[in-house]
Structure 1
Amino acid sequence: MRKNSKTVVLAKLAIVCALYAVMTFAVAPIGYGIFQIRISEVLVLLAFFDKRYVISLTLGCLIANIMSPFGISDIIFGTLGTLFSTYLISKTKNMFLGSFWPTIFCLPVVYFLHIFAHLPFWISLVGFSLGEFISVTVVGYPLYKALIKRKKFLEIIKL
């Protein structure tokens, strides 16, 4: 079977989708809430390497958000935040700069969660932003910078 066959690509995308959801479920107490750190968010930087990961990561987020204590608001707006931030990561030429999109997209997500789930705006903004910044920029970026030095990693993530 060819390495880039449609079946292999689909399997890799499905694995990333499942990983995002499972990694979020695995740390459920800290993966949800106003102050959340989702270790699964380190995966969003895969969109930097291939735009096809955008849909995979968005679906993984949607599945993970089904368990959110914020209900339908987080399912809709949290998932849209992931969609927009991963899309922009895929369009950004510098991975470090791209790592800030999830933190930036906390603002509209927090706003809608404030309106529809009645969360306190400023506390939520600080909590969500800090969690995204830690997960993606502080942990994810250095992790990927180290991993891309390994040829095998690039072979694995290539679609």
Structure 2
Amino acid sequence: MKASYLARVGIIAAAYAAASLASLLFLGSLAWGPIQFRVSEALCVLALITPAAIPGLTLGCVIANVINMVITGSGALGLLDVVFGSLATCIGALISWKLREKPLLALAGPVLTNALIVPAYLPILLMGIGYYTIPFTSIQLDGAWFAMYVFGLIATGAGEAVIMYVLGRPLFYVLDRSPFGAHAVEVSS
């Protein structure tokens, strides 16, 4: 592997992990709970520009989820997020890379993978640490996995769609037209 490729992977991983942890700090349970409104997910647009984003985003997600596991004290249950949350990010980035010629469609990759995968394990993780209440309500869904999954599918999908299309799309267009955009990456690779 070229050093420049590895450097891109490392920079993307660091940026994603730092942005995820900033989301935890400023948005709390909106970034890590049932809604999954992580501003760092906007960086998934990098997968439309460089294949280095696929391992970079995945590694950044692993790092952020391991740190979150330590901060929240979720213990071994936090490994669900480390494994499956990072898998969702990896698959979403791979879909985005494969569909990069159609940016609006490519942005749906992370939306779909996160909406389908994260709600499947998140209720188990949250119930394991003793709670699950739909945000902004007093509705308890303990023991109702299917209801929690449906809520998570909608909430995570909506949160991810807002991040990808409201923040990620403009970020992609700015980066793509910069000296470091898709054309520059292809030429230097």
Task: Please tell me whether Structure 1 or Structure 2 has the larger radius of gyration of its CA atoms.
Answer: 2
In structure 2, the gaps of 5 or more residues are 133-147
Residue 43 of structure 1 corresponds to: 43
- Equivalent pairs, count: 154
In structure 1, the gaps of 5 or more residues are none
Query: Any idea what the Cα deviations from partners look like across 1:46-85, whole Å, max 9, x if unmatched?
Result: 1112222101110101111121556111111111101111
Q: TM-score, normalised by structure 2?
A: 0.72
Partner Cα distance (1:147, 1:55) in 2: 19
Partner Cα distance (1:157, 1:77) in 2: 33
Partner Cα distance (1:44, 1:65) in 2: 16
Query: 1:157/1:22 Cα in 2 relative to 1: closer, same or farther (>3 Å)?
Result: farther
Partner Cα distance (1:147, 1:16) in 2: 13
Identity %: 30
Query: Any idea what the Cα deviations from partners look like across 1:4-59, whole Å, max 9, x if unmatched?
Result: x9223222220110110011101201421112321111111111122221011101
Partner Cα distance (2:51, 2:63) in 1: 20
Contact 1:114 1:121 in 2 (8 A): yes
How is 1:113-128 mapped onto 2 (pairs within 5 angstroms)?
113-115=122-124, 117-118=126-127, 120-128=148-156
How is 1:1-159 mapped onto 2 (pairs within 5 angstroms)?
6-28=2-24, 29=28, 30-66=30-66, 67-68=68-69, 71-92=78-99, 93-105=101-113, 106-115=115-124, 117-118=126-127, 120-150=148-178, 152-154=179-181, 158=185
Residue 143 of structure 2 corresponds to: none
